[in-house]
């Protein structure tokens, strides 16, 4: 992905949200990627015990197919 790094502050209560928290990034070529960060933050922060200073963005491409996969997961397993 290259490009510059973006710094964003995420509220500590993010891990307690009832619904997904999505981080969406677009690079200079216009490619958009997304990642659900709630579970990632819970894991990295040890359930809120440690502050998270950086997110290793492992997002997938944001396109029709990835939205369809997300939809199937939500329908099969509920919101997660």
58 is in which domain, residue-wise? 12-77
Residue 7 lies inside a defined structural domain of this protein:
no
pLDDT in tens, the chain (80 residues): 455 556 666 666 667 777 888 899 999 999 999 998 888 888 888 888 888 888 888 899 999 999 999 899 889 887 65
Residue 69 lies inside a defined structural domain of this protein:
yes
Residue 50 lies inside a defined structural domain of this protein:
yes
- CA–chain centroid gap for 52, Å, is 14
Q: How many domains does the chain have?
A: 1
pLDDT of residue 4: 57
- pTM (2 decimals)? 0.70
Tell me which residue of 65, 67, 12, 9 sits closest to 36, measured CA to CA: 67
């Amino acid at each position: 992905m290259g490009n510059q790094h973006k710094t964003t502050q995420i509220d500590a209560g993010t891990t307690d949200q009832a619904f997904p928290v999505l981080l969406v990034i677009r690079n200079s070529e216009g490619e958009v990627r997304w990642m659900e960060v709630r579970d990632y933050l819970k894991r990295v922060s040890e359930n809120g015990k440690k502050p998270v200073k950086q997110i290793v963005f492992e997002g997938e491409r944001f396109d029709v197919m990835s939205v369809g996969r997300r939809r199937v997961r939500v329908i099969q397993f509920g919101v997660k």
